[in-house]
């Protein structure tokens, strides 16, 4: 199980699926860090996915 000290990896394909983007679009935005609005959307989604995975791991470990 993942502990709070371990980094939870979020795949580009996971973010793309949540946002309804093609994988290549999400990967390009992540790599180029632009356009700024879409990159911020990508980062926000990645953060929410990470928080969700941490919550699930915490609930499963109890």
What pLDDT digit, counting tens, does each position of 2-60 carry? 455 568 899 999 999 999 999 999 999 999 999 999 999 999 999 999 999 999 999 99
Q: What is the pLDDT of residue 1?
A: 47
Q: What is the pLDDT of residue 6?
A: 67
Q: What is the pLDDT of residue 7?
A: 81
Tell me how far apart the alpha carbons of residues 39 and 45 are, in angstroms, rounded to a whole number: 10
Domain of 28 in residue numbering reads as: 12-61
- 7 assigned to some structural domain: no
- How many structural domains are present in the chain? 1
62 or 29: whose pLDDT is higher? 29
- 26 assigned to some structural domain: yes
- 2 assigned to some structural domain: no
- 18 assigned to some structural domain: yes
- 17 assigned to some structural domain: yes
- 4 assigned to some structural domain: no
Tell me how far apart the alpha carbons of residues 40 and 52 are, in angstroms, rounded to a whole number: 18
- 5 assigned to some structural domain: no
């Amino acid at each position: 199980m993942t502990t709070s000290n371990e980094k939870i990896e979020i795949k580009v394909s996971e973010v793309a699926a949540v946002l309804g983007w093609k994988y290549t679009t999400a990967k390009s935005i992540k790599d180029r860090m632009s356009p700024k609005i879409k990159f911020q959307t990508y980062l926000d989604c990645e953060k929410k996915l990470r928080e969700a995975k941490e919550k699930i791991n915490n609930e499963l470990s109890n």
